[in-house]
Chain A
Amino acid sequence: MSYPTNQTMIEAPEGSILDVVARQWATQQSAVVPVRSTVRVGGSTLIPVAIDNGNDALKGATLAPLASEEEGSLTSSLTTLRVPTAFAQAQAIQGAREVSYSCDGTSFWIGDVALRHRGGALRIGPTRQRLDDDRQRWFIGASIVELLRAAGYPPGEYQIALCLAVPNMEVIVDQSGMPSVKERTRESMKRHLKGKVWEITRDDDSRVTEQWIIKVAHVLPFAQTSGTVVAVTRTPTGKPALHLDDGMVVIDVGGGDLHVCEVGFNPSRMINRRPGDGTIRIARALRNDVKFNGIIKNDVEAQQALVRRWVTKSSRRVTIDEDVQRVVAASGQSMLADVLADLRDSNLFVTITGGGVQLLNGLLTEVLAQEEKQAGRDYLIVDGPVSSLLNVVGALFALVFKASGK
Chain B
Amino acid sequence: MPHDHHDHLSPSGHPYRKDDDVELTYWQTMEIAVRELLIEKGELTAAQITSQIDAMDARSPANGAQVVARYWTDPDFAEALLADGSQATRDMGYDIGPMKLIALPNTPTLHNVVVCTLCSCYPRNLLGLPPDWYKSRAYRSRTVREPRRVLSEFGVELSPDIEVRVHDSTADMRYIVIPNRPDGTEGWMQDQLAELVTRDSMIGTGLPKHS
A binds B: no
- Hey, which bits of chain B sit against chain A, CB under 8 A? none
